[in-house]
Amino acid sequence: MDRHLVLYDDDCGFCRWSLDRLLRWDRSGRLRAAPIQSEEGTRVLADLSERDRLASWHLITPDGRRYSGGAATAPLARLLTAGAPVAFLADAFPRSTDRFYRWVARHRDTLGRRLGERACAVDPTERNGRPTPG
């Protein structure tokens, strides 16, 4: 069985915590994971800048399609046994899903610390690839 690849930031405690939960929910074994910083991650995401690679998680389908950030939520949820409700909501409200994903991504250093994980290496003052005002 070809598995979908989830690329995640290995330097981000919240990202590792989230991936652990995701893989627990993958009872059918349809996912495999690799750090964005790995040789495979660098190769698969070679067309992206380092900043864009680390800005979000990425789902790579067996046929090579890539979904990143909030856009990965519905296709990823469809792979999970109980993910249909999440996939339905993500498909029904893609802008809200993307906004929520970006909010979590901007705050993943704080979320990681609250979970007892080491802080994320992504600069928390950056928002959507641009420095935050103020």
pLDDT at res. 134 = 32
- pLDDT tens, 48-102? 999 999 999 999 999 999 999 999 999 999 999 899 999 999 999 999 999 999 9
Cα separation, 44 vs 38, whole angstroms: 10
Cα separation, 76 vs 31, whole angstroms: 9
Asked if 37 contacts 43 with a C-beta cutoff of 8 angstroms, the reply is no
Average predicted confidence (pLDDT) for the chain: 86
